[in-house]
A and B are shown apart, each in its own frame.
Chain A
Amino acid sequence: MTENFVTFTVNGEARRIRVFPRTTLLDALRWQLDLTGTKKCCAEGECGACTVLLDGRAVNSCLVLAIEVDQATVLTIEGLETAGRLSRLQDAFLAEGAIQCGFCIPGMVMAAHALLAEMPRPTEADVREGLSGNLCRCAGYQRIVGAVLAAADGARS
C-alpha cells in the first residue's frame, strides 16, 4: 500500500505523519501521535467516543481518513486545557459528578465543546439533542447534560 504524508495542526502544534490510504484519523491520533485520550469503541460512527473537532466541527474520527485532514486543524481532548487549566466545561463535568467510568467522556466533552461553540446558551432539549450521538453506558446523562448547561454562557458559575 502506498503511504502518504499528511501535514496538519493538532492541538495547536504542526504535525507531519506518514499514513496509509485507509488509516483513520482515530488510529493516526492514537497510534502515531500517541494521543490516546480519543477513544475507540464502535468504529462505525455510532457511539461518539472518538469525537474530535476538525476545523471546529465535531466529527467521529473513526469515519475520517487521516489523508483527508491534510492542512486541517484538529482539536482533541488533550488540547482543551489552556496553560494547565481545565476549560470551564471540563471543570463543570467534575463539579457535576458527570464522570463515572470515564471512557465516553473525552468524546462527550468534545461534542459538548462544539455544541457550546455553536450554541452558547442551549436549552436542556438542545443539549439532549446535541449529545444524542455520544453513548454513555454508565448512563450518566443526567449529570452530563447538567454539566453542559452549567458551563453555558449565562449559567451561574
Chain B
Amino acid sequence: MNGDRVGASVRRVGGHERVTGQQKFVGDIRLDDMLHVKLVTVDCAHARILSINSEHARALPGVRDVVSAADLPNPMPRFGPIYQDRPVLAAAQTRFHGEPVAADIAQTEQSGEEAAGLFKVRYDELPAVTTIAAALDPSMPLVQDPEFRTGPHAKTNLLSEWRFGWGETETPAADQVLDNTYTFPMVTHFAIEPHCFLAAPDQGGVTVWSAVQHPFVLQQVIARLLDLPLAKVRVHAPDPGGAFGGKQHAKYEPLLALLAVRLGRPVRLELTLGETFQAVRRTAFEIRLRSGFASDGTLCFQDAECNALVGAYADIAPRVVSKACYLMCGPYRVPSARIHARALLSHTPPATAFRGFGTPQVAWALESQMDEAARRLGIDRLEIRLKNLARPGEQFIPGDKPADGNWPEALRRAAEEIGWETPVAPGRGRGIAVGVKASATTGASYAIVRLHFDGSATVLAATSDMGQGARTVLAQVAAQELGIGVDQVRIVMGDTAIVPFDLQTSASRSVVFMGTAVLAACGDIHAKLQAMACEAFGLPPESVKVTPGMVRVPSRKLTFAELLSEAFAGVRGEVIGVGSRRGERIASHPLGGPPAFYEFSCTACEVEVDRETGEVLIVKHVSVADVGKALNPAQARSQDEGAAVMGLGHSLMEHLILDERGRILNLGALDYRVPTTKDMPLEMRSLLVENGDGPGPYGSKGAGEGGLFGVAPALAGAVADAAGVVIRELPLTPERIWDAIRSEPPRTGPGSSPESCEPSL
C-alpha cells in the first residue's frame, strides 16, 4: 500500500481499460435513436456563398434533415473563448478551407456522407490571406467583418497587438548585434482520436459529449448559445484520445446542440482526420529578433518583432501570442527588452493552443539566436547560456515572479548527459537549448473528496485525463492523504452535472491547481474527522490527532474506517471534503496575473547529418525537466519523452502546406508526416530535477510540455555543428538541409563555427 503513494511510479489508473479496449472514448458512445451529422464544405478558403441547393441531399433515403445558415437563428450565433467571432455555420461567406456551409443529418454515417456530396453550393471564390505578408498588406481583403470587431484595428487584419519591455528605451550599446528572422509554420495537433461530438435533448436542456479539455468552458458556450441556465447544460467529457491543446475549445458542439434541440433527438458528428486538421491548428510565427551582446557573451538587449499568423477566428490564439511573447527573452536576464507582438488574421483554420502554448515558437527564435551569438563571439554554446541564465530567486522579468528553480543545475545536467565536454565524432554535431514557459496564471479548480465508511474514497475532479495521467496522480495524492492504496480510490471526471467546477486542463496546471484542491479537500476531511472523534469520544480538540489514515485519541489509535464505523454507528454515512485553488486576476499584470510556476526544460542532442541526402539521424536525445517533485516519476518521464518525440515532429518534418487558394494540400496521415518508431533517437534519456520548489502538492510543479520547448533549436544547433549550415525556417527537412549544404562552401568541419546563410548585420 505504501508503494502506491506520492513519489512512486504507480501503474496508470485507467491503463487496464486502455490495454483491453474497454475504455470508452467519445466515438465509442452509442445513444438510442442517434442520427449522424455530416458537414458540407466548399473547395477553397475564402468564398462568397451565392446559393445552397439541398434538394437532392434531402431526397436521399435515410436523410432526416438538412440545414444551412438560413435554417439557424438569425443573426447567426457566434462563439469563441476570447471573441465571439466563430459562427455555428458559415453564413454569407467562408473564411477558411473546411469551414462548413451546411450539414445533413441522416440515419447512418454512410447515407450522411453520400448526401453531403449531393449539395449544390454556388459560390464566388475570393482572394485568400494565407501568409503574414498578405495579412499585413492593406490591399488584401479583410478576414473578419469590421462590424463584429471593435477598436482601432477593426478595419485591418491585425487582430490584436502587445508591447512588453523594460530597461532603456533607446537601443543600448552592444559589442555584437545580431538581426535574424526565424519562422515556425502551421502544424496540426494530429491527436490519434479525431474530433467527435454528440448532443441530445435532456430535461428541458441539452447534454453534449465531447472529448474536450475544458468541459466547463464548453458548458458556458452552449448555455449562452441556447439561452439556457448552466444547470440545464450537461457536458460529458470522456477522456480525450490525445488533445495537446487542440481540444480546448468549442468547435462543432454548438452546431450539434442546436441540431439536437431542432430534431428532438440525439445527434453525432465524427470528423475525419482531414476535417480534424481543418478544425484547428498551431499558431504560426515569424520572429525578427535583434539581440545585442557584450563581447564576453553577456546579453545587452533584445528587440523582438513577433508576427503570429492566426486563423479566421480568434479561438485562444491571442492568448498564445501574448503569453509566449511576454517571455520572448526566455529564462535569461537582459537589461533592456522591447517586444512587439501581433496576432494577424488569415483565411486559414483557427489557430489555437498546442502543447507549449507558443513557447516552442519563441524558443526556436531565441535559442537559435543564442547559438548564433556564441558562434560569432567564439564562446561555447553552453557557456553563453549559463552566463545569462537566471539564478534561483532572480527576478529575470522586472516586477514579475522570480526564477523558481535551479535552472543552471538543470542545464548542466543536460550538458553532462550528452557529454558536452567530450570530443564529437566526425560527421556528428551537438546542440543544446533551454525553454521556459509561464504556467497558469488565473483560474479556479474545485475538488470534492468523499471518504466512504469503509475508508475508501471517491474523488470528483474535472481535470481531463488526456494522456498526462491526471487520474493516477490525483489518486496518489488522495491515497497519500487518506492513508489508503490507489486501488481504494475512484476518480470521477468529465461530467459537469457531477464534478465541481474546474476552469481548464491546460498550461500543465492540473497537478498544481487540481492537485492542491484535492489536497485541500483531504485536509477538510481530516478536520471533519477530528471533530467527529471529539464528539464521539467526548474529547477536546487537542486530544485528537489526525494523520493520513489514522486517528489518535489518548486511549487508542483508530483507522478512518474504524472511526466512521463508531461515529456513524448503524446508520452509516460518509465524510465529504471540499477543496479549491484559485488564481485571481490582477489587472495590472500584463498576463492578468503572475504564473503559478515556470515550466523550465533543457534539451541536448547529438546528431549525424548525411551530407548526401540531408537526413538527420538523432544519435542521442536528452531532456531535462524541472518538475519540483515527481508525484509519479514514470509518468513524468513518459510525458517528457513523449513531448521530446512530438517536438521532433515540428522540428524535422511537420508543416501544413497551403496552396494560394488557402487549401490545405496535406490533409491526412498519408501526406502529413508525424514521428514514428523509426524516427526515434537511437538513445533517449529523460532526467528530472526535483528540488521540491514548486507550489503544488509536496513541492511539485506542472510538467509535460517542457520537453518540446528546446527540441527545434537544439536540433538546428546540432545540424549547424555537424554540417556547418544554419537554418532559420522550420521544419528542418532533408531537402532544406541538403539545399543549405549545397549552397555553402563545405569548409567547416564538425564542431567548427559555421557562418550564417543569411546576410547578417
Contacts and interface: CB of A to CB of B under 8 A. Distances in A.
B9 to A, nearest CB: 7
Contact of A137 (B21, B27, B110, B190): B190
B675 A101 contact: no
B466 interface: yes
A105 B642 contact: no
15 contacts: A22-B110, A36-B28, A37-B22, A38-B21, A39-B193, A44-B668, A47-B192, A77-B20, A93-B19, A100-B642, A103-B25, A129-B678, A134-B677, A135-B190, A138-B642
Interface stretch (B240-248, B500-508, B606-614): B240-248
B668 A46 contact: yes
A39 B24 contact: no
A6 interface: no
**What does DSSP make chain B's interface, helix, strand, loop or mixed?**
loop
A99 interface: yes
Contact of B641 (A37, A39, A106, A142): A142
**What does DSSP make chain A's interface, helix, strand, loop or mixed?**
loop
Contact of A128 (B18, B190, B244, B680): B680
Contact of A44 (B23, B189, B192, B669): B669
B21 to A, nearest CB: 2
A64 B216 CA distance: 40
Interface string B185-229: 000011111100000000000000000000000000000000000
B638 A100 contact: yes
A76 interface: yes
A135 B192 contact: yes
A68 interface: no
Interface string A114-157: 00000000000001110111111111111111000000000000
B674 A135 contact: yes
A128 B677 contact: yes
Question: When A and B form their complex, which 6 residue pairs have the shortest distance between CB atoms, in order from nearest?
Answer: A37-B21, A103-B241, A102-B18, A101-B467, A139-B645, A46-B669
**Looking at chain B, what size class is its interface with the partner chain?**
35 or more
B676 interface: yes
Contacts of A44: 668-670
B20 A101 contact: no
A38 B643 CA distance: 25
A74 B136 CA distance: 57
B750 interface: no
A86 B15 CA distance: 12
A33 interface: no
Contacts of B270: 40
B469 interface: yes
Interface string A21-52: 01000010010001111111111101101000
B638 A105 contact: no
Given A46-B668, A137-B242, A101 B19 contact: no
A137 B646 contact: yes
Interface string A68-85: 000000001110110000
Contacts of A100: 242, 467-469, 638-639, 642
Contact of A20 (B12, B20, B30, B110): B110
Interface centre among B23, B25, B643, by most A CB within 10 Å?
A: B23
B19 A94 contact: yes
A67 interface: no
B242 A138 contact: yes
A75 to B, nearest CB: 11
A100 B109 CA distance: 29
Interface centre among B18, B273, B680, by most A CB within 10 Å?
A: B18
Contacts of B20: 37, 77-78, 80-81, 86, 90
Given A36-B28, A42-B668, A95-B11, A101 B192 contact: yes
Contacts of B678: 128-129, 132
Given A93-B19, A94-B11, A100-B468, 9 more contacts: A41-B669, A44-B670, A47-B273, A90-B20, A97-B12, A99-B12, A100-B242, A103-B191, A109-B19
B273 A43 contact: yes
A45 to B, nearest CB: 9
A129 B680 CA distance: 11
B119 to A, nearest CB: 21
A101 B193 contact: yes
Interface centre among A36, A49, A136, A139, by most B CB within 10 Å?
A: A139
B641 A139 contact: yes
Contacts of A143: 638, 641
